[in-house]
């Protein structure tokens, strides 16, 4: 598996080796040793999957008291996946990373604890799966505003406005959310 650091070194891009032939393909999507070799000794506790229609933007979500690391991949369709650094003490605080993840490119994005995460659906629909290092805690669920001008994410919008949940439509700006140390 090829593992590449992004402009925010803690956010990693995983590109598995795909073994294909006329029958289809096989790939390894997770190996704990890839993380421990980088000093990331963590345990995944929960797997999630979502299906979203084209033009849907989910996020930018995070948990402050129960931070989750997420290993994100797309099993059908294509998304623009984003991580925003919410760690006040970080040299990359308030910066974002965006990567296209698809069923065809097989890429995965490691979003460490201390980051907000979201994605925008580019294909007709997309099925996204992600492993989490902590459980979902509804009482600690927060949303960072997807179009906060202080962050300036360059979303590749297909329409003038994305499809948002009521929660995400009422998300708060960076200056208004609880941050990580």
Which residues are designated catalytic? 61, 130
The distance in angstroms from the start CA to the end CA of the chain is: 32
User: From CA 114, how far away is CA 63, in angstroms rounded?
Assistant: 8
| The CA-based dihedral angle spanning residues 50, 53, 54, 57, taken in that order and rounded to the nearest 10 degrees | -60
**What stretch of H or E contains 141?**
strand 141-143
- Report whether 58 contacts 125 (CB < 8 A): no
Q: What is the DSSP letter of 105?
A: T
Task: Look at residues 64, 80, 77 and name the one whose alpha carbon lies nearest to residue 180.
Answer: 64
CA angle 8, 50, 86 (to 5 degrees): 25
Residue 109 CB neighbour total at 10 angstroms: 26
Residues in the chain, overall count: 181
């Amino acid at each position: 598996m090829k593992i590449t650091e992004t402009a925010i070194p803690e956010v990693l891009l995983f590109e598995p080796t795909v073994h294909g032939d006329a029958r289809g393909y096989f790939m390894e999507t997770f190996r704990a040793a890839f993380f421990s070799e980088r000093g990331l000794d963590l345990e995944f506790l929960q797997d999630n999957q979502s299906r979203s229609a084209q033009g849907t933007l989910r996020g930018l979500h995070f948990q402050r008291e129960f931070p989750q690391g997420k290993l994100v991949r797309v099993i059908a369709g294509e998304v623009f996946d984003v991580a925003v650094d919410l760690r006040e003490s970080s040299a990359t605080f308030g910066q974002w990373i965006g990567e296209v993840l698809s069923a065809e490119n097989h890429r995965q994005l490691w979003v460490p604890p201390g980051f907000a995460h979201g994605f925008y659906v580019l294909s007709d629909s997309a099925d996204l799966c992600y492993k989490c290092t902590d459980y979902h805690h509804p009482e600690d669920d927060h949303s960072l505003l997807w179009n906060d001008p202080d962050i300036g994410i360059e979303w590749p919008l297909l329409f003038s406005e994305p499809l948002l949940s009521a929660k995400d439509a009422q998300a708060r700006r960076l200056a208004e959310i609880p941050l990580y140390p």
